[in-house]
Amino acid sequence: MTCPILRPATIFPIPRRRSRSIRRRFRGPRGRPRTLASVTPKRGPRRRDRHGRGLRGPLAPSHVPMAKSRSERFDDLVLDAVDRLRPRWERQLSAVEFAVEDVPPLSELGDGPRLNSDPIPFGRADAATGQTPASIVVYRRPLEARARDRDTLGAMVHDTVVEQVATLLGLTPETVDPGYDDRR
């Protein structure tokens, strides 16, 4: 007497894998073959989740770094770079506004950058005029595109802020941050 468990191939035949290039066919009610397209329901508008299996809340708590978006992390890098310069240039930077924009405006690019002739700017320094205070703008997307990883991005953001502060104050970047030349 043999046990049916020892012979699974005869009791439960293992289905063979079909090639993806072969169309699957099914038998209709009258024994005629039907294609898979006629069996699947038509795609309509998305239906709502009736069983409550949707996303119940945020994926991560707000204090976890994963909860921050890419632009929020970039804003933090700019603020860290400014905080590193504040102890030395507190008085000069007190009236300067720092901002982050995604990309430089077309008016700043002129006729458009040409390969190897006009680099895409990483930032802009605007002097104070009348009612508008001095401002430094850092462009997020060009810096993110050029950086290899988060550490490189942090160093590039710091260098950009140092260069723009130096432009605004009429100094060299090495004067604004003595460690600027070491990273080059």
- Cα dihedral across residues 63, 68, 73, 76: positive or negative: negative
Domains of the chain: 67-183 (3.30.2010.20)
CA dihedral 7, 12, 13, 16 (to 10 degrees): -130
How does pLDDT run across 10-49, given as a tens digit for each residue? 444 444 544 443 344 444 555 554 444 444 455 556 666 6
Cα–Cα distance between 149 and 161 in angstroms, integer? 18
Query: What's the one-letter identity of residue 42?
Result: K
How does pLDDT run across 71-96, given as a tens digit for each residue? 889 999 999 999 999 999 999 999 99
Using a pLDDT cut of 90, give the percent of the chain over it. 46
42: which residues sit within 8 A by CB, 6+ positions away? none
Cα–Cα distance between 71 and 78 in angstroms, integer? 11
